[in-house]
Amino acid sequence: MTAFERNKGKDLRGQQVFLRPEESSAPAPTSRQSAVPSEQLQDALLRLAAVVDARSLRAALQDSIRELLPSTECVCLYMLEGDSRLLSDDPPHELPPEGKIRSIVDQLKRCQCAGLPLPELPEKYRICLAAPLPAHKRALVIPILNQERHKAIAVLLVGCNPLSDQDELHLNTMEKHASVACIRVQAVQTSYQRPPLSPSPIQSHNALLHLNVSDQDYCELDRNILQLCGELFDLDAASLQLKVINYLQQQTQSQCCCLLLVSEDNHQLFCQVVGDKVLEEEISFPLMFGRFGQVVEKKKSISLQDISAEERRQLSSMLGCEISSMLCVPVASRATGQVVALACAFNKQGGQRHTEADEHAIQHCFCYTSTVLTSTLAFQKEQKLKVECQALLQVAKNLFTHLDDVSVLLQEIIVEARNLSDAEICSVFLLDRVSHELVAKVFDGGVVSDEEKEFRIPADQGIAGHVATTGQILNIKDAYSHPLFYRGVDDSTGFRTRNILCFPIKDENNEVIGVAELVNKMNGPWFNRFDEDLATAFSIYCGISIAHSLLYKRVHEAQFRSHLANEMMMYHMKVSEEEVSKLLVVGIEPVMEIHPCFAEFTYTPRSLPDDTTPMCILSMFEDMGFINTYKIDMHTLARFCLMVKKGYRDPPYHNWMHAFSVTHFCYLLYKNLGLSNYLEDIEILALFVSCMCHDLDHRGTNNSFQVASQSVLAALYSSEGSVMERHHFAQAIAILNTFGCNIFEKFSRKDYQRMLDLIRDIILATDLAHHLRIFKDLQKMADDGYNPKSRTHRSMLLCLLMTSCDLSDQTKGWKTTRKIAELIYKEFFSQGDLEKAMGNRPSEMMDREKAYIPELQISFMEHIAMPIYKLLSELFPGATELYERVAANREQWTKVSHKFTIRGLPSNNSLDFLDREYELLQSQGAFGSDDQCLNGCLEDAEGGRGQ
């Protein structure tokens, strides 16, 4: 991660990537087996990752096929030789250059058929591969591809049973790993194809005879070098260097010598031994460090006079002593002719300068020892590669054990990536294709808390964005000189970003799903080619593990949804045709026949009998013009209304009567405030339907209880927040998807999607936490003036209207308000009892032993209800009476509070005794005259239809 990305907004170290799961209606896998690779597949992948030669590759491929496809009868393997020849060694033969098999291979796709042509097959395989095969047998042609060259580098002919879907998935994964293994083996083989040898030591020795060196000196040199060669039997490169350096110090009479080894990619020098000391950590620096790069390029020796004072100071620091003289001689490989090391001698004894004879002695030494040294370094590199392969195998095991939790998996990826590459900092971004952003919550292995937001950057900007867009690895040796790097944050924080290795993480379809970024190589000047190869291999494991982890999460979500759907079906019954016909038999009743005051704010819908409410819903649909405007089928609408009514459970407050009251208040807003001048028709319909569905399947407990009790709902929705509200929306969608209940079936695809989006946003707005988050924006909208052309203003207004509908019982008369408080606290105290039974401490309002109802009600009305209706009255002057009635009810709670001498509810769970106080105060004119009838609740003796 760049310094800019690390420091944007907040210190993001120790944070975790979170990807929001896509909301999709596509069916998810239903078994864990499809989400987590089988043990056979893991063994096959690990076997392929370990091969380093053609022989082990052939065995690994054949064993992998037999393990993944237990029904396999035979496996014939061809390997690419040259540009087009495909050769097999069992028995030795070549795949015909023309024919059916070759044409299948040229298509570069796996093929399953009923048999292959007999003449194209060796006799050994004809019985299990030749056409025609029995119905229960199949012949497979599996090309292993080099994607960059777009050609097959190996071909497998397999005789087995027909493939299952699971077999297809396993083969897809195996083929990608087989491709990597084949390419790796080819690269290893290429590295061993040596060019013509350079002159032998004897020829090199003779070439030196023209120099001014006596025969006696050469005899002495030969004796010494033969003795040295006899001691060079170590397999450890550092031990060999110690012996060679000691020899050079004696021959050149130098205080100290060292070898600067040239890395394979020719981009850096590194030193493992200085004098008689093996360094704990090798020292490395850029190849272009001073004049040393020219020595490698021109293959000419230099002395102390040829280097600058700064280079001299750095060498003195490395050696731990002042330098008075120096000789640097290039050492060429006899196999390639390329410079593989620089032999350096420092501080000749007696304060003298190094002579031409010293240079000859060094050259003579490496005529005999360079081959041993380079071979040992190659062996050491192979050993290092073996260790790294074993480390990759361990990484694979570690990653595949964390598939059940994406957060933990991403932390593991960061830790493993840093350890493999010796990077100072690592971060991982996942690609959100919906918003086209790179998302991160993980930095340096930590996880952000739920309260903090994930870090997001555009998917096409910066270094990470470039890699996500191109899908190519990017190795930046000097961050400050790269055009995509922003160094402003480094300047302000003091952190220095030296180099960056950024690589893509791809899924099994070779599509980018994320980006990993390594910053500052710790044991080198920058990330080298070896790090790039390691990152490429590592990214394959990352891609597979992340893809399977997300799939595993979707499987679990599908299981939770299935369980939830079964629970709902067990609780609710379907609506019968008889019920629908009974509701529609007399037609839709006009609203004025329900009650003369039905369309006035003073009307209390709770006065209606429960069995008349579905007809009232139809009446409101008709009166608002929705049925004609949107051509809603009457039977569909009736069935939808009855299904929604049955979708509510029967807790004291959050039941169907509450939903009906909220829906009626939405109707009142439409009739009295002229919503058509503020919102589009489709938005008003969405608000009305949302009011009906906003508390579907409410269990009488709130969001915090769902999380604390680790309920099915919490498991499904807690990562997104607003647990119950998301469940209410999901239930609404479930009803719409029920046969004969989709009242939006005649909408266009665009309008249908918009309707669902509106309903989702409006129902989520019933979470009071959401309302409190946007209240300042709502106030600003009211202060600046509402703009009906602004989509943002309309969206915020819908949220405000939904909240005002949800709390509309507070706008009715005192008896209704008092009765609602009684129902609410019955529900609250039931939850508090459950929390106590779980061993948790409920909040004060949920605790029947601590809750002081008047104080809680006054606080709720002052801080929640009154500000809402005050804001509503600022936007709609016609809503002023609503605010005044809420304020009057708040005042009444203050006046009757002296009647409360207990905590919680009375023993009979009733607040009826407060009405007597109210009636007394009203008779004394405390509330003025009330010409309009305020309907009470259903339980009131005088309440009823037509009151």
Distance CA 926, CA 858 (A): 19
- 436 part of the active site: no
- 228 vs 235: CA distance, rounded Å: 15
Alpha helix stretches (DSSP H) within 253-308: 292-298
Q: 3-class SS at 857?
A: helix
Residue with structure tokens 């009743």?
589
Residues contacting residue 834 through CB under 8 Å, at least 6 positions apart: 701, 705, 709
Q: Which amino acid is present at 833?
A: D
**361 three-state secondary structure:** helix
Q: Rounded to whole angstroms, how far apart are CA atoms 860 and 844?
A: 13
Q: What are phi and psi of 528, to 5 degrees?
A: -100, -175
Predicted pLDDT at 937? 44
Measured distance CA(845)–CA(851) in Å, rounded: 5
Whole-angstrom distance, CA of residue 665 vs CA of residue 667: 5
Q: Which of 177, 360, 548, 654 is catalytic?
A: 654
Structure tokens at 410: 């991403």
Any idea which residue has 């009151």 for tokens?
Answer: 947
**Phi and psi angles of residue 827, each rounded to the nearest 5 degrees, phi first:** -70, -45
Distance between CA 159 and CA 170 in Å, rounded?
17
For residue 56, the SS3 value is helix
- Give the Cα separation of 509 and 459 in Å (integer): 19
Q: What is the pLDDT of residue 759?
A: 97
Residue whose entry in the numeric block shows the structure tokens 């609740």: 937
Q: What is the pLDDT of residue 180?
A: 85
| pLDDT at residue number 144 | 92
CA distance 415 to 431: 20
Q: For residue 506, what are its two tokens?
A: 């791809």
What is the sign of the dihedral through the CA atoms of 402, 403, 405 and 407? positive
**CB burial readout 761-785, b (16+ within 10 A) else e:** bbbbbbbeebbeebbeebeebbeee
The closest alpha carbon to 257, from 242, 236, 240, 235, belongs to: 242
Q: Encode 405-427: b = buried (16+ Cβ within 10 Å), e = exposed.
A: ebbbbbbbbbebbbebbebbbbb
| Residue partners of 59: CB distance under 8 A and separation at least 6 | none
Q: What is the pLDDT of residue 767?
A: 92
Q: What are phi and psi of 269, to 5 degrees?
A: -105, 145
Q: How far apart are CA 298 and CA 294, in angstroms?
A: 6
CB contact at 8 A, 810 and 864: no
Angle between helices 406-421 and 356-400 (to 10 degrees): 170
Contact between 666 and 691 under an 8 Å Cβ cutoff? The reply is yes
- Copy the structure tokens of residue 326: 């120096």
φ and ψ at 73, to 5 degrees?
-100, -35
- Rounded alpha-carbon distances, angstroms, from residue 309 to 133, 204, 319, 902: 80, 35, 15, 89
Q: What region, left, alpha or beta, does residue 503 occupy, with left being phi > 0 and alpha being psi -120 to 50 degrees?
A: beta
Nearest to 414 by CA among 107, 12, 114: 12
CA dist 294 and 301 (Å) reads: 9
Q: In this structure, are residues 328 and 301 in contact, taking their beta carbons and an 8 Å threshold?
A: yes
Structure-token pair, residue 57? 């590759």
* Residue 207 pLDDT: 44
- pTM score of the predicted model: 0.48
- Length of the chain in terms of residues written: 947
Among 646, 486, 515, 502, which Cα is nearest to 569's? 646
Read off the tokens for 788. Answer: 């009906």
pLDDT along the chain (947 residues), means of 10: 41 31 38 50 81 82 89 91 86 90 91 92 91 91 88 92 90 88 78 42 44 53 76 80 90 90 76 85 73 84 84 81 89 83 90 88 86 81 74 67 65 73 83 84 52 72 89 90 82 82 85 86 80 79 74 75 62 78 92 93 93 96 95 95 92 95 97 94 97 94 88 82 91 89 94 96 94 94 93 95 96 90 92 91 89 91 95 94 94 82 63 63 52 38 36
Distance CA 616, CA 507 (A): 54
| Distance (Å, whole) CA 921 – CA 502 | 76
| Beta strand pairing call for 74-81 and 151-160 | antiparallel
SS3 annotation, 594-628: HCCCCCCCCCCHHHCCHHHHHHHHHHHHHHCCHHH
The helix, strand and coil proportions of the chain, stated in percent and rounded to the nearest 5, come to 55, 15, 35
Residue 774 is predicted with a pLDDT of 94
Does residue 28 contact residue 554 with C-beta atoms inside 8 Å?
yes
Q: Which of 198, 213, 509 is nearest to 367 (CA)?
A: 198
Cβ atoms of 538 and 420 within 8 Å: the answer is yes
Rounded to whole angstroms, the Cα distance separating 595 from 639 reads: 24
* Contact of 796 with 778, CB cutoff 8 Å: yes
Q: For residues 285 and 271, what is the distance between their CA atoms, to the nearest angstrom?
A: 9
> Could you tell me which of 148, 74, 159, 144 has the C-alpha nearest to residue 105?
144
Residue pair 568/697 in contact by the 8 Å Cβ criterion:
yes
